[in-house]
Amino acid sequence: MNDQTGPPRLTRDQLSELLLADEQQRRAPDTAVPLPDCFLCGRPATGMSSTLGCRDVDERVVTLRPCGHRLAFNVGVAERMQAKMGAAAGPASAPSEVGVLRAEVAAARRFAGEMREFCSPHGVSVHYADQLEAAMDRAKEGAA
Ligand SMILES: [Zn+2]
C-alpha cells in the first residue's frame, strides 16, 4: 500500500500559468515568458519536468528546477487547457509550409533568370531557362 499524501496540487490558475510558459518556450524560446516562480518557495524556476503521479492514473507531478519542489496536477485538465491554448495561438504560429514553398519557387525562378546569362554554345542555357520557367508556369496553372 502506498499511503503517502504526495505533492500538493496546483490550482487551475497555477497550472495554466505553468502550461502557458512551457508552451511558449517550446514554440519560441527566445521570446517566451519565463516560467513562473515556484508556488511553494517563490524561487524563480528555470526549468521543469513532469513524471507520473501515484494517487491516480491521471495524476502528473511536475518538478521545478532548481528548487526541486514537486506539484501535482490532473493530466485531463492540463490537456483541455493546452487544447484551448493551441486554438488561441492559431495557425499563424505553426511552421508555414506555404512560406517555405514560396521561397523555393522564388529561388528556382531566380536561378532560371541567372541561367539566361550563362555563356553557353547555341544559347542552350537560355533554352533551358525558358523550359524551366514554362514548366513552373504550367504547374502553377495546373494547381490553381
Ligand atoms: Zn520551490
From ligand 1's centre to the CA of 82, what distance in Å? 24
The pLDDT of residue 90 is 58
Q: What mean pLDDT, rounded, does the chain reach? A: 84
pTM of the model: 0.56
pLDDT grade, residue 98 (50/70/90)? confident
Dist. CA 44 → ligand 1 center (Å): 8
Helix axis angle for 97-117 and 124-143, nearest 10°, is 160
Is-contact 38 64, C-beta < 8 A? yes
Determine the residue type at 26: R
The tens digit of pLDDT for each residue in 27-82 reads 888 887 889 999 999 999 998 998 998 888 899 999 999 999 999 999 999 999 88
Instruction: State the DSSP string of 42-72.
Output: -PBP-EEEEEE-SSSTTEEEEEEETT--EEE
Q: How confident is the model at residue 94 (pLDDT cuts 50, 70, 90)?
A: low
In the chain, DSSP finds a helix count (H) and a strand count (E) of: 4, 3
Dihedral sign from CA coordinates of 126, 129, 134, 135: positive
Distance 142 CA to ligand 1 centre (A): 60
